[in-house]
Structure 1
Amino acid sequence: MTSGPPAAASETPQATKPHGFMAELRDAVSMRGVLLVVGVLALQLGFVLSYIGAFHAPTPHRIPVAVVAPAQAADRVVDQLNSMKGDTVEAHTVSSEGQARAQILDRTVDAAVIVNPKGTTDTLLVASAGGPAVSSTAAQIAQSVEQAQKRHISVSDIRPPYASDGRGMSSFYLVLGWIVGGYLAAAILGMAGGARPANLHRTLIRLGTLAVYAVLSGLGGAIIADTVLGALTGHFAALWALGSLIVFAAAATTVAFQVLWGIVGIGVTIVLFVVLGNPSAGGAYPAALLPPFWRAIGEWLPPGAGTTAVRNTIYFSGHARSQSLSVLGLYAALGALLAVIASALHIRRTRQTDVTV
């Protein structure tokens, strides 16, 4: 029996893969990956620069101070304070101690000097709940001025933080948690379904989902800060409402940036809220102690606006928070509006491209 020639091995041709270190490197690291890593490095260095830049040398600048003194001494005290090197203090006279206390509690001033015409010990009124760092700085300034006049100063804290609110920092940390939760939730929703929403309906659904999330996040933060820890008590409903607004402002802004710039938009959000927003928020150091750049931007970013709104709600009967609430409302409204408009324009461009093709 004759056997035929052996059958050719049936093998599927395999594409030849490049060999060598450089080929493996090109296969493992794409140009997009390199650009993303460079972006992360820039964020990291920006974080270091912003935080150290804001906090490495706190210097008082125009701390608002009221002065109560006899007519013959009032102008002299005010001039002495206002002539201090570096515009340290911005002082003005008021007619009575009661008016000085009222201005501290409505956030017009950070401190008040009460000159005692019958003795050598004057009084400095502060409200450290508004920022312990600025209160202690005001006390140091007053002591140096009084010593030069061979007088003494007694410090009276008329609105200290609650015992469970260590150094008055709970407002800042609560707002920080709300901000982080807002932009992380928006980022996760965006990445789970593609960084750019495919249609307007998806954007609206995301915004609606984030609105529900904001209400739950605000409630959770209020429960922890008020009911569980007792750090910020007595204004539960207001705290819940503020938290919901802060979270949605951060989330809506993040959605807008994602729609506009994809994954790069998340980086822009981190720059705005974390790199720039946190050190300028007035948590560790109030605006009066920050360098000019951070002092200028703090109240116009959600972390600073949120910290001021929460602090003034809890400790100062809601005084001086109109600007903060307006800023938060604008981020929430404009973020949502920008996301919707950008999604609609993206759909329109896509349809026009399809028609052209």
Structure 2
Amino acid sequence: MSSVSAVSRPALRHVLTHLVTPLLMCLGMGIAYLSAFHAPAPHQLPVAVVGQGPQAQVLAQTLKDKAGDGLDVTTAADSDAARQRLLDRDLVAAYVPDADAPTLLVATANSETSASAAEKVFTQVAAHQGKPLAVQELTPLPAGDPTGQGLFFLLVALSIGSYGSVAVLGAAGAALAMRVRALLGLGVALVVSLLGTALAGPVFHLVDHGLLGVWAMSWLYSAGIVAIGTALHAFLGRWTTLTMMALFVMLNFTSSGGIFQPELQNGFYRALHSFWNGAGFLEGVRDHVYFGGRAGLGGHVATLFGWLAAGAVLLLAAARTERKRALAPALAPAPAPAPAVVPGAEQAAEQPADRSVEQLAAEAAEEEMEEAVGV
């Protein structure tokens, strides 16, 4: 009975240790998603009232007073100026207070949820005039993505393909030099980006033009994630998967602007949106596909390059760390002489031990990959 307990205790400890990852993921995902998406409310949502006369000024000031911090209300000289600001993504909506047909100008490709929030506000304004609100869309979306949120799910697919490959490169590829793993990572990112672009374009028609730019940003985005993950594996080992989930799922998807723009989220996620790689990719693709690259595309591409550069720096640090680890046994003091043994017995004794170490390492790598796939 005692022998059974002696065997079962290490096995039980092993299982419980591996259960820590999914339980921490449950906690982290719950906190991240619920804190990011519960009770969305406008915070300085940029809208405009079209007109130069006192009527437009009074309406804008009235809306600002009633909404408080919820709306950032300005005026636009005319409809053309309002359209320009919408296409530059400086506005979410612009209200034209026509006495006969009040109209709301929107660019849904910027954010469908933000446009809907603005429409609710100005529907009430038009109702006070006793008129129905007409909505004019400035950025028609493709039939394959009528809400404009399909690009968010492209982001999800690219992210999963990228961080899911890290466990393989880090665990199964541990025997390879870091530069080889880095090159393999670039190749994996290329394949992931090509798959994502094909799905977004000819397969599901989320994007009907500009596929070359979508592919280039997809590759940058994926390469940054793979580089960071491959490097972190040298330091974190089996905890890399959980770390990647935190960085590129919990904090990434929630701050990307795919569901809610930062104006509908709390300050923490609004801050992340300004520099996180998922937001850089998603907003960059939106700018490129729907707004002709006129609304800050360069800044979003720079964000993606910044994350890739961070990955390159981490890869250099990881390579240096692995070199030091490899040299450590050679620099260690020589062990004391072993007792004499019968010739041939030492080799027979060492071989099973060597095989055992190799087998344990292979099993650990296999467990890590299975855990990553399960995630």
The TM-score by the shorter chain falls in which range?
0.7 to 0.9
Alpha-carbon distance in structure 2 between the residues aligned to 1:257 and 1:114: 53
Deviation for aligned residue 1:18:
3.9
Is 1:19 the equivalent of 2:19? no
Question: 1:123 is matched with which residue?
Answer: 103
User: Any idea what the Cα deviations from partners look like across 1:264-321, whole Å, max 9, x if unmatched?
Assistant: 2221111011112112211122222122222221342222221111122111111223
Aligned mate of 1:321, from 287, 297, 320: 297
Give 1:244's aligned amino acid.
Answer: W
Alpha-carbon distance in structure 2 between the residues aligned to 1:152 and 1:89: 22
Q: What is the SS of the residue equivalent to 1:168? A: coil
Question: Any conservation in 1 of the 2:52–2:78 contact (CA below 8 Å)?
Answer: no
Alpha-carbon distance in structure 1 between the residues aligned to 2:89 and 2:236: 40
TM-score (norm 2): 0.82
Is 1:259 the equivalent of 2:234? yes
1:138/1:243 CA distance change after superposition, 3 Å: same
Q: What is the SS of the residue equivalent to 1:211? A: helix
Which sections of structure 2, spanning at least 5 residues, go unmatched? 334-375
Question: 2:80 is matched with which residue?
Answer: 98
- Report 1:19-58 matches (<5 A): 19-20=3-4, 22-30=5-13, 33-58=15-40
Give 2:39's aligned amino acid.
Answer: A
Aligned residues: 332
Q: C-alpha root-mean-square deviation of aligned residues, in Å?
A: 2.1
Q: What is the SS of the residue equivalent to 1:210? A: helix
Give 2:8's aligned amino acid.
Answer: L
Give 1:216's aligned amino acid.
Answer: V
1:86/1:253 CA distance change after superposition, 3 Å: farther
Give 2:183's aligned amino acid.
Answer: G
- Report 1:147-296 matches (<5 A): 147-148=127-128, 150=130, 152-194=132-174, 202-296=177-271
Q: What is the SS of the residue equivalent to 1:231? A: coil
Alpha-carbon distance in structure 2 between the residues aligned to 1:215 and 1:30: 40
Is 1:71 the equivalent of 2:53? yes
Q: What is the SS of the residue equivalent to 1:163? A: coil
Question: 2:285 is matched with which residue?
Answer: 310
Give 1:219's aligned amino acid.
Answer: L
1:35/1:27 CA distance change after superposition, 3 Å: closer
Question: Any conservation in 2 of the 1:281–1:299 contact (CA below 8 Å)?
Answer: no
Alpha-carbon distance in structure 2 between the residues aligned to 1:155 and 1:50: 34
User: Any idea what the Cα deviations from partners look like across 1:38-61, whole Å, max 9, x if unmatched?
Assistant: 233111111022112222211111
Is 1:144 the equivalent of 2:95? no
Judge which range, 313-322 or 140-149, deviates more.
140-149
Give 1:323's aligned amino acid.
Answer: G
Q: What is the SS of the residue equivalent to 1:58? A: coil
Structure 1 or 2: more helix by fraction: 2
Question: Any conservation in 2 of the 1:232–1:314 contact (CA below 8 Å)?
Answer: yes
User: Any idea what the Cα deviations from partners look like across 1:315-353, whole Å, max 9, x if unmatched?
Assistant: 111122333212211111111221112321342355356
Alpha-carbon distance in structure 2 between the residues aligned to 1:112 and 1:47: 36
User: Any idea what the Cα deviations from partners look like across 1:85-122, whole Å, max 9, x if unmatched?
Assistant: 45111121222211110111111111111222xx2532
User: Any idea what the Cα deviations from partners look like across 1:186-241, whole Å, max 9, x if unmatched?
Assistant: 221112134xxx6xx71111111111222232222222211222220111211111
Percent sequence identity is: 28
Judge which range, 220-229 or 308-317, deviates more.
220-229
Alpha-carbon distance in structure 2 between the residues aligned to 1:85 and 1:77: 12
Give 1:19's aligned amino acid.
Answer: S
User: Any idea what the Cα deviations from partners look like across 1:123-177, whole Å, max 9, x if unmatched?
Assistant: 1100111221111110001122333455553211111321111311111111211
Deviation for aligned residue 1:27:
2.8
Deviation for aligned residue 1:256:
2.1
Q: What is the SS of the residue equivalent to 2:66? A: coil
Give 1:322's aligned amino acid.
Answer: G
Which sections of structure 1, spanning at least 5 residues, go unmatched? 1-16
